[in-house]
A = this chain, B = another copy of it.
Amino acid sequence: MPSPLSVVFAASDAGLWRIDRITPVIGDTLPAASCLSVHENGAAPMAAAWSLRGTTSNTRYTTRAETGALASRQEGLGRPAATLAALIPIRKTEAWWALAQDERRHIFEESSRHIAIGLEYLPGIARRLHHCREFAEPFDFLTWFEYGPQDAGAFEDLVARLRATEEWHYVDREVDIRLSRSA
């Protein structure tokens, strides 16, 4: 578990990723833009149409057994064959944040199988979670996914299954941004 990595996702007219579409799933959308760039541990570009900032962090719900299962199957970001990506910012309700740790864990995994579902799609669909609730940002989490065209159908299945869970009753804003690598 490395130190937190600060990441800015900046939408503008230039960037490694071409924005194919921005879909509001729950609540307000984000403004249209043509490209997205991802900046690790650096300053946000000044000319962005919009930017979202988060950091990686320690896990919050994952047990040792689950950590081992994930580590044995997952692959990193930046694979040459992973030419598709998604950025899915979500915000959870105050009711979620008022729950105790054991209540949130129960909904997250024992009810919603968030970890188990994600595990089914490894290693094809790689992901990295960024936290931003403590940054006065408009979302609580930014999840970044990378996958190849052969996993595009599986990715739709993955997000549909997560959105059908009890955990998603506590999501009050979600935007789904799909991207293709432009270089």
Assess whether A81 is interfacial by the CB under 8 Å rule: no
What separation, in Å, do the CA atoms of A34 and B90 have in the docked complex? 44
Top 10 closest A-B pairs, CB basis?
A: A64-B100, A1-B98, A63-B102, A55-B134, A58-B97, A67-B100, A4-B134, A1-B97, A63-B100, A61-B101
Considering only residues 60-104 of chain A, those with a C-beta below 8 Å from chain B are 60-64, 66-67, 94, 97-103
Minimum CB distance partner of A68 in chain B:
B100
- A124-156: CB near B (< 8 Å → 1, else 0) gives 000000010111100000000000000000000
Minimum CB distance partner of A131 in chain B:
B134
**This chain: how many copies in the complex?**
2
Assess whether A6 is interfacial by the CB under 8 Å rule: yes
What separation, in Å, do the CA atoms of A4 and B103 have in the docked complex? 20
Assess whether A23 is interfacial by the CB under 8 Å rule: no
Q: Which residues of B contact A6 (CB under 8 A)?
A: 134, 136
Chain B nearest CB from A159 CB (Å) reads: 24
Chain B nearest CB from A116 CB (Å) reads: 15
Q: In the complex the two chains form, is A60's CB within 8 Å of B101's CB? A: yes
Q: Which residues of B contact A103 (CB under 8 A)?
A: 64
Chain B nearest CB from A43 CB (Å) reads: 13
> Can you give 27 contacting A-B residue pairs, CB < 8 Å?
A1-B94, A1-B97, A1-B98, A4-B133, A4-B134, A4-B136, A6-B134, A6-B136, A55-B134, A57-B134, A58-B98, A58-B133, A59-B100, A59-B101, A60-B60, A60-B101, A61-B101, A62-B101, A63-B100, A64-B99, A64-B100, A64-B102, A64-B103, A67-B100, A131-B134, A134-B134, A134-B135
In addition to A59-B101, A60-B60, A64-B103, 12 A-B residue pairs with Cβ atoms within 8 Å of each other are A1-B94, A4-B134, A6-B136, A57-B133, A58-B98, A58-B133, A59-B100, A61-B101, A63-B100, A64-B102, A101-B105, A134-B134
